[in-house]
Amino acid sequence: MELPHYPPLQRSDIVAWLRETSEARLEELWRRADLVRQQSVGGEVHLRGLIEISNHCIRLCGYCGLRVDHRELPRYRMTADEIMACVQEGVAFGYGSVVLQAGEDPRILADWMADVVRRIKADSPMAVTLSLGERDYDELALWRAAGADRYLLRFETSNRELFERIHPPHPGRVSDRIAILGTLRRLGYEVGSGVMIGIPGQSFDDLAGDLELFRALNLDMIGVGPFLMHPETPLADPQQQSVAAPGEQVPASELMTYKVIALARLLCPRANIPSTTALATLNKNSGRELGLVRGANIVMPNLTPPKYRVHYEIYPNKACIQESAGLCHQCMEVRIKSIGRTRGSGRGDSPNYVAR
Ligand code: SAM
Ligand code: SF4
């Protein structure tokens, strides 16, 4: 099948799609994104096993329930053996990779993490993705040398002033996630980033800028999801909420999330793009499937033991919070089959990374 030729999307086209309300026009966007997805990354849906290894965090992100001053949240940090037990479950389910995610937790020591990466690489054929926040160059280099393949760090919003408002720097440090993404690229990682959709204060133009930045950064993986308000965070406080000018504020809606997934696919055809848990939280019945038929090609079943998973509460009412790893796995398989797609085999490296 030949890809029809579409002229490259400009900022004004992106804004127009983000504001589009005609169902018929949007059907055209979904069709295009699905076609480009099929042509660029194929019909397979890759499964990544997510292990939420620690919910300790030293940061004060205005949006996230793991922020350090959310004192009521019971905190946990998994042991290396507990992580390895989850990894073995992932192997048994045939996953091609695991994602180890955590708050920004300095007690995840660099050498300890490097050992865990080495153990996973020695005991399984899986690719290892890390998502541990803003870490120093030496740590990122050490983990890469230990065998880590990929790193995920969302820049959250390309509007620098908004980013600084919702993501205060840690005292004595500069928070420059774009610079860290450059470092990750130079270290040879497969690089992933993304944004939240509908952050209070995020305008349509900001979101179009985010999408353009995905293209400029030539990302290998792109994760986007709606902003979901956590009552114990500053962004839930009406006094502290600043919204964009009238008619400019992006809604944190399911529809807007599909638009961003579809546009990300058109702008970065060979990137791996997940249909995220935050999207599934807005539509538990069919959010995952709709993301997959509107540009996405990845799902991330949760391998975290349920006793910990309930405390990885970045926002309330998270999808899949009570399920065991086995149930999550079966559920994803059924959903993939229901849309006529197949499960990916192998590590599912980003074709963008492979081409580079
Ligand atoms: N601590 C690491 C970091 O910040 O990159 C990784 C874990 S953090 C929980 C992973 C992602 O969760 C963030 O990049 C952010 O986009 C998302 N997130 C946090 N709070 C959220 C919220 N209230 N609604 C939607 N997504 C949220
Ligand atoms: Fe910590 Fe990441 Fe949540 Fe920020 S988004 S508070 S760094 S876990």
210-260 tens-digit pLDDT: 999 999 999 999 999 999 999 999 999 887 778 898 899 999 999 999 999
pLDDT tens by residue, 187-219: 999 999 999 999 999 999 999 999 999 999 999
> DSSP labels for 16-51?
HHHH---HHHHHHHHHHHHHHHHHHH-SEEEEEEEE
Burial of 190 (0-12, 13-18, 19+ CB in 10 A): buried
Using a 6 Å cutoff on CB, does residue 263 contact ligand 1?
no
| pLDDT score recorded for residue 356 | 84
pLDDT tens by residue, 99-158: 999 999 999 999 999 999 999 999 999 999 999 999 999 999 999 999 999 999 999 999
Helix axes 204-217, 254-267, angle to 10 degrees: 30
Neighbours of 44 (CB within 10 A): 16
| pLDDT score recorded for residue 2 | 52
**Torsion angle in degrees (nearest 10) through CA of 110, 148, 226, 194:** 100
The Å distance, Cα 64 to ligand 1 centre, comes to: 6
In Å, the largest CA–CA distance within the chain is 55
Ligand 1 probe mutation, 64, 131, 166, 241, most atoms within 8 A of CB: 64
Using a 6 Å cutoff on CB, does residue 211 contact ligand 2?
no
- This prediction's pTM: 0.97
| pLDDT score recorded for residue 25 | 98
Which amino acid residue places its CA nearest to atom 2 of ligand 2?
103
Helix axes 204-217, 177-186, angle to 10 degrees: 20
C-alpha span between 148 and 143 (Å, rounded): 6
| CA-wise closest residue to 92 among 47, 54, 130 | 47
Looking from the CA of residue 55, the nearest atom of ligand 2 is 8
Domains of the chain: 11-349 (3.20.20.70)
